[in-house]
Every structure is written in C-alpha cells, then in structure tokens.
C-alpha cells in the first residue's frame, strides 16, 4: 500500500531543546508530510513528556531506554520505568540501547549488561529494538545472537543512524533487520556511507532525523527537526537513481512493518 507521507523513525522531540516548543515543531513536521513520528525517550523526564504528548498527538509514538552513553549514570534508575511502560504497552519499541566504544562514556561491561537486559525485556514484551552501535559491531552481533532469538530467528530491530561499513551493514541485513539513515548521508564528506546506501536494498531502509542532532546539509548549523526529513529521502533517491516518491513509499512501509503502529 503506497502512502503519501513520511515516517520519521527516530527523533528526540521531548528533549530539553525541543520540548518547550514541541507543538510548533510537530506542526512544521506535518506540513512537510511527516504523518507518523517515533519519539526516543532516554530518561524519566523525556518519557513522561512523551507519554503526555502522545495523548494529544496520537501520531507520535514512544520508545524508551537508556543510551549506552548514560547507562553508568542512569541505567539502574531508568530501567524499571521502561519495563513498566513496556509491559503496559505504551511503547512501540525498546531503545535506543546498544554499544558505543568510540566515546566510552560508560564502561564497556556496563554497556553490555544493559544491552542484554533491554534485549531480554524486548523479547519478553515482543517489541522491536532500536540500536545505537558505534565501533562495537563484533560485540553487538555476539550479544544480539545470544539474547534476541524469537522462535529460532532474530527478533525485529533497526540500527539507527547507521555509520558503519558495508560489511557491517550486510551483517545487519542478514539478521533480518533494518538500517536507518540520518542527515549524515547528505554531508559532503560521507562518500563511504553513500556507498552503503547504494548497496542496501530499499526494502531494508528506514529514514530518520535524530532531531535535534545531525541537521541535513542544507540546514547545517541549525537544530534539526522532523520537517527536514524529506531532504534525506531526496538524497537516497539521488544515490540510488530512483524517484524520491518511491523512497517515501517504501521507507514508510518498512517503518510500519517494523514498529507495527496500532493506529496506521
């Protein structure tokens, strides 16, 4: 089914910098053709705001988890809140969780512990996962293979804001997962990532803004927001040599398949 709208599969619209004017941001998003948005909640405040926001904007859906950067500081306190909401079926996914060995803001073993815990929670609640992974793919794939099997195959998930290699992307696809591309693919120096986009099947691609981060090339230096999503779709269409409308239709269908939105 071809739907003439976009899905922003990953945005932090209840973060500190967007929350005070979130309704204006959502209005601009809808004007730009974004009709469904996945809001990523990473602490108690963003989760509480996200749950309230969804009551007045039912096209906004929430996920929750502590990022790998913050698990040492907030992992223990936030996990029970995520578990409560996951079991109450107010979340459409668990995430973003994962591993980040580039910055190592939290100890590696702590990151691994919470990744395992969140994968087990996602399995128990039959929810997909949203993964952040940087410079840690070997450990990530090992943990994923050990902890996230549903009836003999990998549970559903997406590698968000993918910046890995073609070989790593292929390993993601082999596990039946999706890869999400952000405004980074619009940057002038992202040739390697553009090659990954070119090689990836469109049926396995999601698009995201990761707002307020990573504004696309034409908006560099500005806070990112969901209204800028079409620029990412346009660049994918140029890389693949296909109509932008096809990118919109297929990435929307892919996001629907992964997240199983209850109202669309």
The full set of domain ranges for the chain reads 6-259
Residue 129 has pLDDT above 80, yes or no: yes
Query: What stretch of H or E contains 156?
Result: none
**Mean pLDDT across 122-143:** 98
CA–CA distance, 67 with 8 (Å, rounded to integer): 19
When pLDDT is averaged across residues 199-212 and rounded to a whole number, the result is: 98
DSSP reduced 3-state for 254: helix
Q: Among 188-192, 203-207, 216-220, 260-264, where is mean pLDDT lowest?
A: 260-264
Q: Which superfamily is assigned to 6-259 in CATH? A: Metal-dependent hydrolases (3.20.20.140)
**pLDDT per position as a tens digit, 142-189:** 999 999 999 889 999 999 999 999 999 999 999 999 999 999 999 999
How high is the pLDDT of residue 104?
84
Torsion of CA 160, 165, 166, 169, to 10 degrees: -30
Angle at 262 between CA 259 and CA 264, to 5 degrees: 90
Segment 79-108, tens digit of pLDDT: 999 999 999 999 999 999 999 999 889 999
* Residue corresponding to tokens 């899905």: 7
Give the pLDDT of residue 157. Answer: 98
235-252: average pLDDT: 97
User: What pLDDT score does 1 carry?
Assistant: 46
Residue 115 has pLDDT above 50, yes or no: yes
Q: Can you say whether residue 54 is alpha, beta or left, with left for phi > 0 and alpha for psi between -120 and 50 degrees?
A: alpha
* pLDDT bucket at 61, cuts 50 / 70 / 90: very high
Q: Say if residue 264's pLDDT is above 50.
A: no
pLDDT band for 4, please (50, 70, 90 cuts): confident
Confidence at residue 2, expressed as pLDDT on a 0 to 100 scale: 52
pLDDT band (50, 70, 90) for residue 263? low
Taking the C-alpha atoms of residue 132 and residue 45, their distance in angstroms, rounded to an integer, is 20
């Amino acid at each position: 089914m071809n739907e003439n709208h976009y899905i922003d599969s990953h945005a932090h619209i209840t973060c500190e910098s967007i929350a005070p004017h979130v309704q204006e941001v959502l209005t601009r998003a809808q004007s730009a053709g974004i009709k469904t948005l996945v809001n990523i909640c990473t602490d108690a405040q963003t989760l509480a705001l996200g749950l309230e926001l969804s009551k007045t904007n039912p096209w906004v859906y929430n996920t929750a988890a502590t990022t790998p950067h913050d698990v040492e500081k907030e992992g223990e306190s936030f996990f029970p809140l995520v578990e409560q909401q996951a079991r109450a079926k107010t979340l459409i996914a668990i995430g973003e969780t994962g591993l980040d060995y580039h910055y190592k803001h939290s100890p590696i073993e702590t990151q691994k512990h919470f990744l395992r815990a969140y994968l087990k929670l996602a399995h128990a609640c039959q929810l997909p996962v949203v993964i952040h992974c940087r410079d840690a793919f070997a450990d990530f794939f090992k943990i994923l293979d050990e902890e996230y099997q549903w009836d003999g195959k990998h549970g559903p998930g997406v590698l968000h804001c993918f910046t890995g290699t073609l070989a790593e992307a292929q390993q993601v696809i082999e596990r039946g997962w999706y890869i999400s591309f952000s405004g980074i693919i619009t940057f002038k120096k992202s040739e390697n990532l553009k090659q990954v986009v070119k090689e990836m099947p469109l049926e396995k691609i999601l698009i995201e803004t990761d707002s307020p981060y990573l504004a696309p090339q034409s908006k560099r230096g500005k806070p990112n927001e969901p209204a800028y999503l079409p620029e990412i779709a346009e660049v994918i269409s140029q890389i693949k040599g296909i109509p932008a409308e096809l990118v919109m239709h297929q990435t929307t269908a892919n996001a629907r398949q992964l997240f199983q939105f209850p109202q669309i």
